[in-house]
Chain A
């Protein structure tokens, strides 16, 4: 599958028109001007497959599943075939020393030019021994691979923010890519798993403009993570009207009312689920009746419970009993002190008679 992308796509039955439409859609999703769609199509059609090395660390392969399978077979999936994915453990046929050799060769041949994709967090505990590939720790491999990369794309919440491995009590000492790699541009594409089109969008942007898209303060592409789930949610009007589902099977739930009270984290979660949706635009979590878990935000696993409303406290009465006892004890103590003071004053009180005053 060498040669320009457009030829390969044509061989797979994708017409130029379909490809243009796809690029226009991608451009509009990323809030780029209309002309960018054409630029994107031209750039991507002519592109020579850039080398991509995909390193999986402490992960569940859900991110790979999401990106390779959910839309397949679509243009997203095919574009994925079009990059020269030189190392991806889940997808590659090679194994063992041959696989590691392929990675080394790709890194050497494309030094300074390849894109490094990372999914999974990096464990630092026990000198990184919690996760090793070919006898080397993840942190070691990442440092080496990042050294020659043009940019790093952290796919999934684990690679972006540490994710579930980093959740309290973080037994493996897991950290995100950004804690290790400091001298390369990093794009975070969080989500558990992330939305496939976000991933291809970033790749397309890189292939077209040779640069990474504009990022927010958490390193995420603004075009996809600029707004909260809540602000783009089709159930938002019910929130504003104060109509909430109270349980997952009540009248409100059947009528599709807001899931805020059932613990939806939409108001504090930045992602594109509400607009892009999942499974080829079929549905998304809130549409299928479950509140947002907030998976594209740092430390979402420790966010105080998936089924607790945002306005509801995690465990506010934790110290209540102890505090009440201490408060009552202090009150009683002070009360005794006051009584003692009063009694002392009474005891030392000297009565004065008229005769005393006339002395």
Chain B
């Protein structure tokens, strides 16, 4: 298989399969989760200021008092790489072009140099968080294979994408193909791993906030 055949595969059949598995997995899990259902809470609802689903959705985005000081790497690094990923995926020109091809909508993009810089910052934050996970005994103890695996699956598309645009290590064709392949692996893994939090995050926050608000507890 030549470079171009590899690239053609990743852009063609590879992507077809990855998108199919992604859609299948996302629908499966969303339907499964949201049809689980819970018994109705028959107790009379209590009311407390700041206790509601919506409150919790926002509140959980901020570190609880004192936590930022105790684990700054988790919070700051976490913010940086999540925002970085969002900028790269949703404001990088080739990615917006991909989205336009997929669903037909597009929007203005940022210059490639800025996206390149964002990728470097994002990778630095992710590496720092990985080092923190390895260094802190508690974090290391709590980490399972899934944690290491999902870190790698998230990191690789950023690394290969950046290396492709910077023409590092491998010829552009090969690197671009590897980049697309790594993004496809991410698509396949996402619905069946903790990365699915991208979809369930706000729903589960709302659920927790709502259940506790019924008991008069702002969480």
- Which residues in A have some Cβ–Cβ distance to B below 8 Å? 218, 228, 230-231, 239-242, 244, 261, 267-268, 294, 297-300, 302-304, 308-320, 322-324, 326-328, 330-332, 334-335, 338-339
- Chain B residue numbers with a CB within 8 Å of A323 are 19-24
Query: Bound complex: CA of A311 vs CA of B109, how far in Å?
Result: 15
Q: Are A327 and B173 within 8 A (Cβ)?
A: no
Asked if B24 and A324 make an inter-chain contact with CB atoms under 8 angstroms apart, the answer reads yes
Min CB gap B111→A, angstroms:
5
Q: Are A242 and B93 closer than 8 Å at their CB atoms?
A: yes
B5 surroundings in chain A (CB, below 8 A):
298-299
The 10 A-B residue pairs with the shortest CB-CB distance, nearest first, are A331-B31, A327-B27, A311-B94, A327-B24, A323-B20, A319-B20, A335-B35, A314-B12, A268-B173, A312-B101
Residue of B nearest to A261 (CB): B97
A242 touches B112 (CB 8 A): yes
Report, as a range, how many residues of chain B touch the other chain.
Answer: 35 or more
Contact residues of B: prevailing secondary structure:
helix
A308 to B8, CA, bound (A): 12
Q: Is B102 part of the contact surface with A, judged by Cβ < 8 Å?
A: yes
Contact check, A331 vs B30: say whether CB atoms are below 8 A apart: yes
Indicate which residue in A298, A312, A320 contacts B20 across the interface (CB closer than 8 Å): A320
Chain A contacts of B22 at CB under 8 A? 323
Query: By the criterion CB–CB under 8 Å, are B28 and A327 in contact?
Result: yes
The minimal Cβ–Cβ distance linking B155 to chain A, given in whole angstroms, is 20
Q: B2–A328 contact, CB under 8 A?
A: no
Residue of A nearest to B111 (CB): A242
Residues of B within 8 A of A335 (CB): 31-32, 35-36
**Closest residue to B29 on the A side, CB-wise?**
A331
Interface check B11, CB cutoff 8 A: yes
| 5 residue pairs A–B, Cβ–Cβ below 8 Å | A242-B93, A297-B2, A338-B35, A338-B36, A339-B35
Contacting pair B95 A294 (CB below 8 A): no
Flag if B2 contacts A218 (CB, 8 Å): yes
Whether B172 is near chain A, meaning CB under 8 Å from some CB there, is yes
A247 CB to nearest chain B CB (Å)? 13
B residues sitting closer than 8 Å to A (CB atoms) are: 2-5, 7-8, 11-12, 15-17, 19-32, 35-37, 93-95, 97-98, 101-102, 109-113, 167, 172-173, 176
CB-based contact A240/B4 at 8 Å: no
Of the candidates B11, B17, B32, B93, which one forms a contact with A331 in the assembled complex, judged by CB atoms under 8 Å apart?
Answer: B32
Q: Is the CB of B23 within 8 A of A303?
A: no
Nearest A residue to B179 via CB reads A311
Shortest beta-carbon distance, B39 to chain A, in Å? 10
In the bound complex, how far is the Cα of B110 from the Cα of A302, in angstroms? 32
Question: Shortest distance in angstroms between A27's beta carbon and chain B's nearest beta carbon?
Answer: 26
Q: Contact between A268 and B95 (Cβ–Cβ < 8 Å)?
A: no
In the complex, what distance in Å separates the CA atom of A338 from the CA atom of B167?
Answer: 50
Complex-state Cα separation, A109 to B2, whole angstroms? 39
Shortest C-beta distance, A150 to chain B (Å), equals 27
* Residues from chain A with Cβ under 8 Å of B36 in the complex: 335, 338
Whole-angstrom distance between the Cβ of A265 and the nearest chain B Cβ: 9
Q: Judge whether B16 and A268 touch: CB under 8 Å.
A: no
A331 touches B8 (CB 8 A): no
Whether A334 contacts B32 by the Cβ 8 Å rule is yes
- Whole-angstrom distance between the Cβ of B204 and the nearest chain A Cβ: 17
Q: A312-B98, A314-B8, A315-B16 are in contact. List 18 more A-B contacts (CB 8 A).
A: A218-B2, A228-B172, A242-B109, A297-B2, A298-B2, A311-B94, A311-B98, A313-B102, A316-B101, A317-B19, A319-B17, A320-B19, A320-B20, A323-B20, A331-B28, A331-B31, A338-B36, A339-B35
A311 neighbours in B (Cβ, 8 Å): 94-95, 97-98
With A and B bound together, what is the CA distance between A16 and B107 in angstroms?
A: 60
Known: A267-B173, A304-B12, A320-B20. A330 touches B28 (CB 8 A): yes
* Contact between B12 and A317, CB atoms less than 8 A apart: no
Known: A316-B15, A335-B35. A268 touches B3 (CB 8 A): yes
Q: A218, A239, A302: which contacts B8 (Cβ < 8 A)?
A: A302
Across the two chains, which residue of chain A brings its CB closest to B95? A311
Contact status A299-B24, CB under 8 Å = no
Which residues of chain A are near B30, meaning CB under 8 Å? 331
- Is the pair B25, A327 in contact by a Cβ cutoff of 8 Å? yes
- Given A313-B12, A319-B17, A335-B31, A330 contacting B4 (CB threshold 8 A): no
A36 to chain B, nearest CB (A): 27
- Taking CB atoms, residues of chain B closer than 8 Å to A312 are 11, 97-98, 101
A300-B28 CB under 8 A given contacts A268-B172, A316-B19, A319-B20: no
CB distance from A179 to the nearest CB of B (A): 14
Q: Are A317 and B109 in contact (CB under 8 A)?
A: no
Chain B residues closer than 8 Å to A322, beta-carbon distance: 20
Q: Is the CB of A267 within 8 A of B16?
A: no
**Which residues on B sit within 8 Å (CB–CB) of A231?**
167
Q: Which residue of A lies closest to B96 (CB)?
A: A311
Give the complex CA separation of A50 and B201 in angstroms: 74
Residues of chain B within 8 A (CB-CB) of A239 are: 112
Q: Is the Cβ of A241 less than 8 Å from the Cβ of B24?
A: no
